[in-house]
Each structure stands twice: as C-alpha cells, then as structure tokens.
Amino acid sequence: MQKIQNYINGELIAPLDNTYIDNYEPATGKVYSQIPNSKEEDVELAVKAAEAAFGEWSTCGIAERSRILLKISSLLKENLEEFAKAESIDNGKPVWLATQVDIPRASSNFHFFATAIEHFASESHYMEEVKAINFTTRKPIGVVGCISPWNLPLYLFSWKIAPALAAGNCVIAKPSEVTPMTSYLLSKICIEAGLPKGVLNIVHGLGQHAGSAIVAHPKVKAISFTGGTGTGKAIASVAAPMFKKLSLELGGKNPNIIFDDADLEKALSESMRISFANQGQICLCGSRMFVQKGIYETFKKRFVKMIDELKVGDPNNSDSKMGALVSKPHIEKVQQYIDLAKEEGGTILTGGTTVNVGGRCEEGYFLRPTIIEGLDYMCRTNQEEIFGPVITLTPFEDEEDLLKMANSVEYGLAATIFTQDIDRAHRVADQIEAGIVWVNTWLLRDLRTPFGGVKNSGVGREGGFEALKFFTEQKNICIKY
Ligand code: NDP
C-alpha cells in the first residue's frame, strides 16, 4: 500500500512517531493509501526548517522566486494527466473535471503569483509643506501556515501557498486529511523544481493534531485557512489572542436567482453547473435557487428533467457528469439533510437517493443530484450549509421578496443573478449580501479580483494583490530632509 510522506526540510519523510491514517478512494469505498498522522513534533520540525530557510528565501530576489514558482507551474502542466487522475481517485470527482479545472488552475495559481510579485509595489507619500517623504515597505512575514479543505484539493492549496511563497515567506501547509495525494505529488515537483529546502513544508494529518499545532505554534505568524465556518471559529479563537494575521475563507449558502426576464436557456444550463458541479461540493455552488413566479413552473419542469437525466457514474468515465461524494461521513451528513428536508415539509422533485453505479464502484459514495421544493426559506435546510448535490427551489414575487429571502442566511460568500435587465442586475447585485456576485454567468474567475465572503463566510480576501498584501507586513518610514 502506498504511503504518503511529509515534505519537511526538502525531504520526503515519515512522521516521527511512524503512525499513519487510511486514505479512502470515494468511488470504491476502499482504502488505497496511507497518510502520515503527524503531530506537534512534526510541525515543530517543519517550523525549524522554515525558520532556517527564511533568511535566504526572503532575500534571494523576486526574479529568483518567480523563476522557481514558474518552474513548479510548468511541471504541473507537464504532469497534468498524473495529477488529474490522482485528484479524481482521492476526491471522487470525474477525471475530466480535474483535467479541465483543478490541475490547470493549480498551475495557473503558481504562474499568476510568480508574475504578480514582479508587479507588486508599495506606496510613498510626499509631505510637501514640511519636506518629508514617507515610504512604505512590504516585507514577507516569516513563517506562515496554510490550511486547506478537500473539495478542490490542489486548486485551493496552491491558491494559498503560491502567494505566500512569492512574497518571500516560508510555509507550513496542511492539506485536508481526506485528500492529501496531489499535495504529496506537489512536494515531489517542488524538489524537482529546485525549491530550496525548508521553504515549503507539507505536513499531513488530522486537523485536531497537525492543523491545530500549526495554528497554535508561536513562530507561525499568519494563518490562511479555507474550510468550514465552525473550524474557522475554532482557529480564530486560538490565533486571534496570539495576534496572528488571519485570512478565513469559510462556508456558504449561496442564492442562485432567476428573474422572469432571464435568458432561459442560459439560466438552465448554467444552473446545472451552479447546483451540481463537483457534486455540489464547491463553496461557490448555489444551493438555494430562487425563481420568479412568472417562469417558476416552466423553469422547474425543464430543470428537473435536465437533472433527472444527469449521469452519475464512475469518475474514470468521460460521460459521468457527476462522480462520488468525498467520504462516507460526508455522504451520510448530506443524506441526513435530505431526511431533514422531508421532515420540514419539503418535496423531493428528483434525486434524494444513493446510486449503485456498479462495476468497481459498487461500494462508492454516489448520490443522485437532488432538488427539493416547498420549504420555508427560514427552515434549517435553507439556512445551513449542506455542501453536496442538494438544492432547494423557491419561488419569489419581486425584488423585495427575493432580497428578504436571499439575505436571510448567516453566510455571504457568493450569489448568481440571471436577468436581461441591466438596471435590475445592478440593483440586486448591490443589495445582495455577498463578497462575489456573478450576473448571467458563474465561476468566471479573474485571478486579479478579490475573492472572499462577508458575514460568517469569512474574514479578508484572497486573490491578486490582496493575497500578496496579506502575506506581507508593512512598515512606514518617514524621512525629513
Ligand atoms: P474543515 O473545516 O473540516 O477542514 C478544513 C481544513 O482544516 C482541513 O485541512 C482540516 O483537517 C483542518 N482542520 C480541522 N480542524 C482544525 C483545527 N482545529 N485546527 C486547524 N485545522 C483544522 O472543512 P472541509 O475540509 O470539510 O471543507 C468543506 C468546507 O470548506 C465547507 O464548509 C466549505 O464551504 C468550505 N470552503 C470554503 C471555501 C471558501 O473559499 N470560502 C472554498 C472551499 C471550501 P482535516 O481534514 O484533517 O479535518
């Protein structure tokens, strides 16, 4: 059985106490590899390596850092097939999806920040009346921690570590224990690319051991975390009293809004992705669909038929539109929400059941895409994050009615609006409580834009110069002459 190793001080090594955790393939329900069950002492080793590497990495120059990160980016591209397959085995997503989205995007993340750092500048402020100049330097923080979830494993992992490294920090990173494989493969690529030892350290293991040891370590000066809101709260309660810089990208319960005047064909096909891409396990997926009354019945009929025909199958098959959910505990959690929706008076329009897709996947974690209607907008199903292929359908009267329901949740990550009325698009986008709004499209990402949520969906923004600002510390120097 393959044993994943930690990447510490430039080497692939076993956890110090030599204990491992089973890693399951969600499509088959079988253990296929083992990952280090790292503890505090492994994190300690990683922090020591990172501290030792910091001096050289932070002063080797932007061009050198950029060169190495570009090399990592191109090696990811060269190894696209291997990485995509590994991501699919680990996560349950179709291989085609990992090939088209996850791995190219991970490569782009490195490319983007390798070049962004060359254009990153700080400000100066001239005081004419007293003849003084302020200039503000932005220097790397030191040793920083990056903790990422399982839904877009390498995509989100690289979204954090690339800007941290580009800015000159040394990193202790922990991928989700559920999906460790591509970050393990990345460590091999970092060695091949010539990343100096200790600059990036990848410590595998459980959140409660390895994760909390990173968060609590006094030498780790900033934490960039993506994951659930509950975990974010726990991390903030440890990191905030230690005055660490914190970036938290948390849960969502995003509205997908379709007005009477929407381009119906576009709204239908985009809504299929918005609702069920990656088995609905994207923080940006729209799990509450609001459709205006005038087109509600027509839209519902056509959308339910489309989703009914959506093929759930072996992630290896190119015609599988949806693969497996990420783990047994996760599919069980999603099923509990389907039961709750029924108790709350919801009607299942399609889905709601597991699927045996047969063959090698007999024991995999497959669920039919599920659409539920007839629920009050304030019920638990409509308020809590499910993070699976389950959406609710709710009619609305007008903008006022819509905004009351759409903004009723504790989350505020993203929203999608379908309308052909430009004034309405502006009005609603302006009043929706979300960090990101898409109009007549979804997940159209420009890596320069700020990414993150409001309310309980997070604190701070990733993306573009926002990420580089987070991973640097400012100092203002005022000189009078
Ligand atoms: P979790 O919050 O359970 O875990 C995220 C990461 O944190 C994992 O690596 C986990 O390790 C680790 N962790 C858990 N507990 C601690 C702790 N006490 N201290 C330090 N680290 C810890 O999230 P999931 O992995 O379940 O991911 C799904 C969640 O992520 C959803 O809520 C989703 O909305 C959110 N998400 C948000 C995004 C955004 O940009 N806003 C993007 C993508 C997802 P382990 O796996 O071992 O538990």
Is-contact 169 146, C-beta < 8 A?
no
- Rounded distance, CA 110 to CA 71, Å? 9
The encoded tokens of residue 50 equal: 């990172």
Domain 255-448 coded CATH 3.40.50.11810: no
What pLDDT is recorded for position 191?
98
CA of 56 to the centre of ligand 1 (A): 32
pTM score: 0.97
Alpha helices in 12-102 (DSSP H): 40-59, 62-78, 80-91, 95-97
Alpha helices in 194-321 (DSSP H): 212-216, 229-239, 264-276, 293-308
What pLDDT is recorded for position 138?
97
- For residue 192, is it left (φ>0), alpha (ψ between -120 and 50) or beta? alpha
| pLDDT tier, 75 (very low <50, low <70, confident <90, very high otherwise) | very high
| pLDDT tier, 248 (very low <50, low <70, confident <90, very high otherwise) | very high
Q: Please state the domain extents for the chain.
A: 2-250+457-480, 255-448
What pLDDT is recorded for position 201?
99
Is-contact 434 403, C-beta < 8 A?
no
What pLDDT is recorded for position 9?
98
What pLDDT is recorded for position 434?
98
| pLDDT tier, 227 (very low <50, low <70, confident <90, very high otherwise) | very high
Q: Is 249 in the active site?
A: yes
Looking at residue 10, the DSSP 8-state letter turns out to be T
For range 153-175, the mean pLDDT: 98
Around ligand 1, the residues with Cβ closer than 6 Å are: 147-151, 156, 174, 176-178, 206-208, 211-212, 215, 226-228, 231, 234-235, 249-252, 283, 385, 387, 413, 453, 457-458
| pLDDT tens for each residue of 99-140 | 999 999 999 999 999 999 999 999 999 999 999 999 999 999
| pLDDT tier, 35 (very low <50, low <70, confident <90, very high otherwise) | very high
- Rounded distance, CA 62 to CA 252, Å? 36
Mean pLDDT over each residue of the chain, to the nearest integer: 98
Atom number in ligand 1 closest to CA 232: 2
| pLDDT tier, 338 (very low <50, low <70, confident <90, very high otherwise) | very high
Would you give the distance in Å from CA 270 to the centre of its chain?
A: 20
| pLDDT tens for each residue of 307-333 | 999 999 999 999 999 999 999 999 999
Q: Which of 43, 240, 69, 44 lies closest to 167, judged by CA?
A: 69
The best mutation among 157, 159, 177, 226 to test binding of ligand 1, ranked by most ligand atoms within 8 Å of the C-beta, falls on 226
CATH architecture for segment(s) 2-250+457-480: 3-Layer(aba) Sandwich (3.40)
Local structure of 111: helix, strand or coil: helix
For range 344-373, the mean pLDDT: 98
The one catalytic residue among 87, 177, 249, 373: 249
Decide: residue 422, CB within 10 A, 0-12 exposed, 13-18 middle, 19+ buried: exposed
What pLDDT is recorded for position 391?
98
Nearest CA to ligand 1 atom 33: 251
Atom number in ligand 1 closest to CA 230: 2
Nearest CA to ligand 1 atom 20: 211
Is-contact 201 8, C-beta < 8 A?
yes
Looking at residue 26, the DSSP 8-state letter turns out to be T
What does the radius of gyration of the chain's CA atoms come to, in whole angstroms? 23
What pLDDT is recorded for position 421?
98
| pLDDT tier, 428 (very low <50, low <70, confident <90, very high otherwise) | very high
Atom number in ligand 1 closest to CA 451: 40
What pLDDT is recorded for position 25?
98
Q: Is 190 in the active site?
A: no
For range 255-281, the mean pLDDT: 98
- Rounded distance, CA 223 to CA 9, Å? 20
What pLDDT is recorded for position 464?
96
The one catalytic residue among 146, 190, 283, 285: 283
Please tell me if the domain spanning 2-250+457-480 has the same topology as the one spanning 255-448.
no
Q: Which of 284, 218, 206, 207 lies closest to 250, judged by CA?
A: 284
What pLDDT is recorded for position 347?
98
CA of 302 to the centre of ligand 1 (A): 35
Q: Which of 350, 357, 278, 267 lies closest to 311, judged by CA?
A: 357
Is-contact 209 216, C-beta < 8 A?
no
What pLDDT is recorded for position 300?
98
How big is the CA angle at 360 (ends 357 and 366), to the nearest 5 degrees?
35
* Residue labelled with tokens 């060695």: 191
Beta bridge partners of 454: 412
- Rounded distance, CA 246 to CA 458, Å? 10
| pLDDT tier, 291 (very low <50, low <70, confident <90, very high otherwise) | very high
| pLDDT tens for each residue of 229-247 | 999 999 999 999 999 999 9
* Torsion sign over Cα 432, 436, 437, 442: negative
For range 434-449, the mean pLDDT: 98
Is-contact 175 153, C-beta < 8 A?
yes
Pairing of strands 472-480, 132-140: antiparallel
Q: Which residues contact 430 (CB under 8 A, 6 or more apart)?
A: none
Within 10 angstroms of residue 113's Cβ, the number of other Cβ atoms is: 29
| pLDDT tens for each residue of 96-107 | 999 999 999 999
